[in-house]
A and B are shown apart, each in its own frame.
Chain A
Amino acid sequence: PRQRIKKDEL
Chain B
Amino acid sequence: MNLFRLVADLMHLVSIFILLLKMQKTRSVAGRCSRISFKTQALYATVFLTRYTDLFANFQSLYNTTMKVFFIASSLYIVFLMKFKFKATNDPRLDTFKAQYVVGGAAALALIVNYAFTVQEVLWTFSIYLEAVAILPQLFMLTKTGEAEVITTHYLFALGTYRGLYLVNWIYRYWTEYYVDWIVWIAGAVQTGLYCDFFYIYFTKVLKGAKFELP
Q: CB within 8 Å of B: which residues of A?
A: 1, 3, 5-10
B9 touching A5, Cβ below 8 Å: no
B68 touching A10, Cβ below 8 Å: yes
A5-B178 contact given A10-B9, A10-B68, CB 8 Å threshold: no
Taking CB atoms, residues of chain B closer than 8 Å to A5 are 115, 180-181
Q: Assuming A9-B184, A10-B71, what are 16 further A-B pairs, CB within 8 angstroms?
A: A3-B178, A5-B115, A5-B180, A5-B181, A6-B179, A6-B181, A7-B58, A7-B124, A8-B64, A9-B5, A9-B181, A10-B9, A10-B12, A10-B64, A10-B67, A10-B68
A3-B67 contact given A8-B60, A9-B5, CB 8 Å threshold: no
Give the B interface residue count (CB, 8 A): 18
